A = this chain, B = another copy of it.
Amino acid sequence: MQEIKGIKLATINCGIKYKNRDDVLLVKFDDKANVAGVFARSSFLAAPVTWCKEAIKNGQAKGLIVNSGNANSFTGEEGNASLLRVVEAAAQQLNCDKTDILMSSTGVIGEVLKDQKITDKLPTLTQKLTQNKESWINAAKAIMTTDLKAKYVSSTAKIGNKEVKINGIAKGSGMIAPNMATMLAYIFTDANINSEVLQQILSDITKRTFNAITVDSDQSTNDTVLIFATKTANNEEISDYNSKELNDFKEKLETLMLDLAKQIVIDGEGATKLIKITVNGANSEEACKNIAFNIANSPLVKTAIAGADPNWGRIVMAIGKSEEKVSQDQLAIKIGSFDIVKNGKIAPNYVEEPVHQYLKTDKINIDIIVGNNKTKFSVYTCDLTEDYIKINKDYRS
């Protein structure tokens, strides 16, 4: 991971749930960063999500604090008070207003965050603030819950003549569905882009990245994606979303966000395969997305792929249950490079065995045509295995 000027990070063990690993991350911006965010759409928003939605309205952030092990969700007034004590203590340490501190929590629902465990360690945590390759990776590790792997990625882009840097870290492995269930992602750039434009960019790209993934169709109350721009690259401020100077940045950011999103899917509980499902030609992009998610969330499709079974009838079933208008005559299903269904019929040369072999690999592409409209949407998911059940049956044992 590359270094980005104006950012310092530190992690520490506060013993919220885990004993032998860091569970709190603090990020400090030397000068206030521009900030934008996208959040869970659950009917119940966790305390930190409600806080962030308000706090980003000024478009600025001095610090970010994230804890794992406790979601501070469904904790009512006590949860809000607990959050506020952490935020106020962090604001004191970083010498800023409390609305310049953003916070996320991830872990068990329904237990009030024991804030003192965090606030007691805040002075030490602040003293540890630094930046190097390792501090980025430690940051990605500190926000993990049931994740098996830390998720992080670096990139660069050009804005005009200036090279800008982008770093991203994320967590999530179960309860992942559109609208970003149980996932946290933080993106940092030194680009000088104002917060309104940042918000537009983030909202747009999220649709095709973090909101285009699903592990198990479940969604959490804590999902948060934040982007921070430190402006330290010293490019001329971008204040127009349509500026051509932004094109490369948008493209690189989308690649980076998609990379993080895929890292989340492939770390899905019990997952052994990353599956990309692309639907073309439905009446609208929304309809393509609905069909794609019906396939991606179908337990029968996901178990068939787990078993490397080219059971395309289940894909037909899953398209059908979307109840979208589709043209059976035009229906085509491709698994990898193999034509399975063409023009609404089994492909003339279809042979099962090579598709069975292809499905044994760990990256599966399924391409579907349901009509001749120029619409398209891709979603990413994983297979459904006995291990998913084992992990989630025994969650608290």
Residues of A that sit less than 8 Å from B by CB: 40-45, 71, 73-74, 76, 108-110, 174-175, 177, 179, 181, 216-221, 297-300, 303-304, 306-307, 309, 311-314, 316-326, 328, 344-346, 384-386, 388-390, 392-397
Question: B42, B45, B313: which contacts A74 (Cβ < 8 A)?
Answer: B313
With known contacts A299-B216, A299-B217, A313–B110 Cβ distance under 8 A = yes
The 4 A-B pairs at the shortest CB distance, nearest first, are namely A109-B313, A42-B320, A307-B393, A303-B392
So how many copies of this chain end up in the complex?
2
Can you report 10 A-B residue pairs in the complex whose CB atoms are below 8 A from each other?
A43-B322, A43-B323, A110-B312, A218-B300, A218-B314, A219-B320, A221-B320, A306-B393, A309-B397, A386-B386
Please tell me if the beta carbons of B110 and A328 are within 8 angstroms of each other in the complex: no
CA distance A177 to B393 in the complex (A): 22
Interface centre among A74, A311, A394 (most CB of B within 10 A): A74
Interface centre among A43, A71, A110, A313 (most CB of B within 10 A): A43
Please tell me if the beta carbons of B217 and A311 are within 8 angstroms of each other in the complex: no
Interface centre among A40, A324, A384 (most CB of B within 10 A): A384
Please tell me if the beta carbons of A384 and B395 are within 8 angstroms of each other in the complex: no
Please tell me if the beta carbons of A389 and B392 are within 8 angstroms of each other in the complex: no
CA distance A45 to B328 in the complex (A): 10
Please tell me if the beta carbons of B325 and A43 are within 8 angstroms of each other in the complex: yes
CA distance A228 to B299 in the complex (A): 34
A380 to chain B, nearest CB (A): 17
A112 to chain B, nearest CB (A): 10
CA distance A313 to B320 in the complex (A): 32
Q: Which residue of B lies closest to A306 (CB)?
A: B393
Please tell me if the beta carbons of A393 and B304 are within 8 angstroms of each other in the complex: yes
CA distance A297 to B219 in the complex (A): 12
A390: chain B residues at CB < 8 Å are: 386
CA distance A279 to B160 in the complex (A): 56
Please tell me if the beta carbons of B317 and A218 are within 8 angstroms of each other in the complex: yes
Question: B311, B316, B385, B392: which contacts A221 (Cβ < 8 A)?
Answer: B316
With known contacts A221-B316, A311-B396, A393-B303, A326–B175 Cβ distance under 8 A = no
With known contacts A323-B42, A326-B43, A388–B299 Cβ distance under 8 A = yes
A7 to chain B, nearest CB (A): 32
